[in-house]
């Protein structure tokens, strides 16, 4: 069984979870579509992928989420389809530039599902694109707006911490100690709940590491300056891949954009971080961190386990404000 995601046959290997999943024909066609294949060329960890070993792609994340969905909801084909297309609206470097430039990847995802190649595939197999959009909007095992962990975020925490060497248990073992209670994810025992809480906290710690946040903030600055020099660039951003954005910034007509991307790519050691503002600094602030968790004994895990509660309380210490400059 090849780990290559060429989608040449009907079985797909997910190496982190050690799943070998049989894909339905509609799933194979979606995986082969350009909007989904494009995700191979977007870094899941944002601009921090330029200075860390966390270089996994958003397609790897997508295959992971789909594999988890197929594992926990094997007969729910619409849910499995939603897992494949749930991220196709992401911009280059994932979340790095989205908020600064006023984009919303959820809205772009909906647009790409409702029209174009994905909509055509879904319609050919008798699925309404609007139904898939509705699944992504409602509470489900895939996505959960409450404090209970959904499969989308579960893969993010497990994948990021695995790539960073921060996990307590191999993801392939931990996954098999989880189950669904209704549409809510539940740990089967205290050990699994504690291991998952560890992944959640360490995943957020990775995401909010000041150097990693600085990379995203400075990339957003570079893109903003580039779009000021070339306003037509902004409407093309939702369709670009990471390498295309890097090429555009390296050849930008705006000097600040050129200098900033050169530092991010070749001189990240010049980025300085401070807890106080300095002349010309960029501010990034986090007032709170989402406290996602599984169920344990039919309750939110922090209510059922003192160990989990103590671990998740560490999330409060991650809130803060930082200022970044290039020396």
Q: For residue 240, is pLDDT > 80?
A: yes
Tell me the two tokens of residue 12: 């797909």
Q: Count of CB atoms within 10 A of residue 210's CB?
A: 17
In this prediction, residues 239-258 reach a mean pLDDT of: 97
**Can you tell me whether residue 230 is helix, strand or coil?**
coil
Contact call for residues 46 and 96 (beta carbons, < 8 A):
yes
| Amino acid 3: pLDDT | 60
Structural contact between residues 264 and 218, judged by C-beta atoms closer than 8 angstroms: yes
Distance CA 326, CA 272 (A): 6
Q: Characterize the bridge pairing of strands 19-22 and 178-181.
A: unpaired
Q: What's the DSSP call for residue 92?
A: T
The pLDDT of residue 4 is: 61
pLDDT of residue 248: 97
pTM value is 0.95
User: Cα separation of 285 and 288, whole Å?
Assistant: 9
The Cα–Cα gap between 208 and 170 comes to 23
**263: pLDDT confidence band, cut at 50, 70 and 90?**
very high
How many CA atoms lie less than 13 Å away from 243 in the CB half-sphere? 5
The mean predicted confidence, pLDDT, of the chain is 95
- 161-171 per-position pLDDT tens digit: 999 999 999 99
Query: Cα–Cα distance between 34 and 42 in angstroms, integer?
Result: 13
Non-local (6+) Cβ contacts of 123 within 8 A are 129
Show the tokens assigned to 267.
């001189």
Cα separation, 296 vs 113, whole angstroms: 35
- When pLDDT is averaged across residues 296-303 and rounded to a whole number, the result is 98
Mean pLDDT score, 253-263: 97
Helix (H/G/I), strand (E/B), else coil: 217: helix
Q: Kindly tell me the sign of the dihedral angle through the C-alpha atoms of 125, 133, 236, 263.
A: negative
Average pLDDT score over residue span 58-72: 98
**pLDDT at residue 1 greater than cutoff 60:** no
Count CB atoms within 10 A of the CB of residue 198.
22
Nearby residues of 313 by Cβ (< 8 Å), 6 or more positions away: none
Predicted confidence (pLDDT) per residue in 44-60, tens digit: 999 999 999 999 999 99
pLDDT for position 170: 96
């Amino acid at each position: 069984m090849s780990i290559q995601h060429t989608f040449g046959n009907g079985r797909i290997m997910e190496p982190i979870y050690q799943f070998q999943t049989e894909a339905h024909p509609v799933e194979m066609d979606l995986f082969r579509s350009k909007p989904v294949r494009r995700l191979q060329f977007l870094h899941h960890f944002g601009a921090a992928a330029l200075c860390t070993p966390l270089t996994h792609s958003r397609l790897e994340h997508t295959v992971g989420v789909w594999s988890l969905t197929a594992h926990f909801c094997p007969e729910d084909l619409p849910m499995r389809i939603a897992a494949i297309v749930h991220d196709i609206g992401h911009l280059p470097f994932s979340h790095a530039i989205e908020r600064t430039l006023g984009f919303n990847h959820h809205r772009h995802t909906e647009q790409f599902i409702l029209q174009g190649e994905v909509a055509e595939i879904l319609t050919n197999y008798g699925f309404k694109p609007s139904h898939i959009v509705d699944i992504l909007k409602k509470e489900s095992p895939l996505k959960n707006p409450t404090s209970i962990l959904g499969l989308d975020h579960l893969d993010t925490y497990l994948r990021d911490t695995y790539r960073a060497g921060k996990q307590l248990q191999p993801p392939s073992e931990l996954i098999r100690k989880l189950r669904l209670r209704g549409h809510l994810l539940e740990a089967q025992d205290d050990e699994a709940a504690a291991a998952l809480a560890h992944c959640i906290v360490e995943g957020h710690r990775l995401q909010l590491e000041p150097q990693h946040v600085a990379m995203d903030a400075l990339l957003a600055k570079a893109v903003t300056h580039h779009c000021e020099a070339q306003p037509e660039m902004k409407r093309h951003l939702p369709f670009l891949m990471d390498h295309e954005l890097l090429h555009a910034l390296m050849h930008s007509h705006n000097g600040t954009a050129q200098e900033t991307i050169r530092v991010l790519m070749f001189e990240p050691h010049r980025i300085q971080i401070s807890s106080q503002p300095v002349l010309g600094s960029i501010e990034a602030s986090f007032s709170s961190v989402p406290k996602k968790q599984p169920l344990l004994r039919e309750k939110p895990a922090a209510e059922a386990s003192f160990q989990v509660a103590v671990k998740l309380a560490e999330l409060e210490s991650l809130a803060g404000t930082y200022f970044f400059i290039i020396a």
